[in-house]
Amino acid sequence: MLTKDRIEEVLQFAESQVRRLVENYPDFFPIYTVGGKWFHTGELWTDWTGGFLAGMMWQFYRRTRSPYWREKAVHYSKLLEHRKEDRNVHDLGFIFLNSYLPWYEETGDPALKDVIITAGRTLALRYQPKGKYLCSFIGPHSLFIDIMMNVPIVFYAAIHTGDQQLMDIALNHCRTTRDRLVRPDGSVAHEGLFDVETGQFLRQSTHQGLSAESCWARGLAWSLYGFTKVHAMTGLEEFLEVAERNAQYWILHLPVDKIPYWDFCADLAQPPPWGAQKETSSAAIAASGLLDLARQTKVPEHSVAYRSTALAMLEALTDPQYLAISTPGWEGILKHAVYHTRKNLGVDESVMWGDYFFVEGLTKLALEKEASN
């Protein structure tokens, strides 16, 4: 059972893993492990995960108020500031909402808020007015489901500047994603392809999932949590409906042990990595998202189902089968995550975002338990 003591024990293990990383490899922002080790020379595909390392430090600081974690969180956040004008990635939400936003929330320093707003404006430059979406790093013809976790920084910039054009960009992006990538049963496609001349939608596609028609587990987790965040920021019920559709697909298709396979359409009779390969990072993302969705849904029975699923997933992740606590020499926190199967990057390894969302989900529980004591 996920008692207060167990949550604290697991978070202290997470702290020790991150402390070892920053002491062994100062100022290094890893993406995935190789054989359980963070430092390697493998390909990044795209540089999108810096905010998760800084983000874990902010999560540790929020819970412990330790000066060590505050100093590290500030230092690692500052190392990301130059990315606020990076036009090569669609990931500025991942980078700044987990680093500069908690820093701003701790201090109220307007200079920190300006960094977030600049990053939001930079992300908005990816907008394709004909197709009405923020394009992925692949090119102007490509829409990724992952961007649902980044569009909140455009909403943030719109809300904090009163810029209606930014607001329209963010709203249009969410509606195009809902209409083109989220299917009626709540499953999602990873990518949508468009004709850049006309803006016409052509077809669904994938890079990291099994196929264009399948449901890549992490893509569904990004959608579930992203639409949940957008509903929280806008209050618009149309986005709550999408998050709940995603949640229902998730809950209906989750294996009995509560940890999804890498793609909900994978043939489980086949061996890993294309068949029965677990993907712990998607469980961590969905669990943290479901904890929020449980508070946002208007339906009490849904709230109970979302929260109990989130708790069951987080508890399953604390089993030594998944948590690296009993694996000497393993440098990540969660084992058995997958970054990119087709490119053979970080398959059955630890990934920085899996560790981050696991820590975020457990910290939400630790702080709510503290508040109710």
Report in angstroms how near the CB of residue 138 gets to ligand GLY at its nearest: 11
The shares of helix, strand and coil residues in the chain, as percent rounded to the nearest 5, are 55, 10, 35
> Nearer to ligand GLY by C-beta: 132 or 218?
218
Instruction: Give the single-character DSSP code of 36.
Output: T
Report in angstroms how near the CB of residue 340 gets to ligand GLY at its nearest: 7
CA distances from 168 to 133, 142, 155, 250 (A): 11, 20, 9, 29
Task: Quote the CA–CA distance of 18 and 29 in Å, as a whole number.
Answer: 11
> Nearer to ligand GLY by C-beta: 208 or 246?
208
Report in angstroms how near the CB of residue 218 gets to ligand GLY at its nearest: 5
CA 333 to chain centre: 16
Name the β-bridge partners of 351. Answer: 32
Q: Residue with structure tokens 């969180």? A: 73
> Nearer to ligand GLY by C-beta: 52 or 339?
339
Report in angstroms how near the CB of residue 285 gets to ligand GLY at its nearest: 9
Q: Answer whether 247's CB lies under 8 Å from 288's CB.
A: no
> Nearer to ligand GLY by C-beta: 52 or 103?
52
Q: What DSSP string runs through 174-236?
A: HHHHHHHHB-TTS-B-SEEEE-TTT--EEEEE-SSSS-TTS-BHHHHHHHHHHHHHHHHHH--
> Nearer to ligand GLY by C-beta: 277 or 297?
277
Report in angstroms how near the CB of residue 96 gets to ligand GLY at its nearest: 16
Report in angstroms how near the CB of residue 174 gets to ligand GLY at its nearest: 18
Given the rule CB under 6 A, which residues bind ligand GLY? Answer: 48, 146, 208, 218, 339
Q: Answer whether 218's CB lies under 8 Å from 283's CB.
A: no
Write the single-letter amino acid at 297.
T
> Nearer to ligand GLY by C-beta: 104 or 339?
339
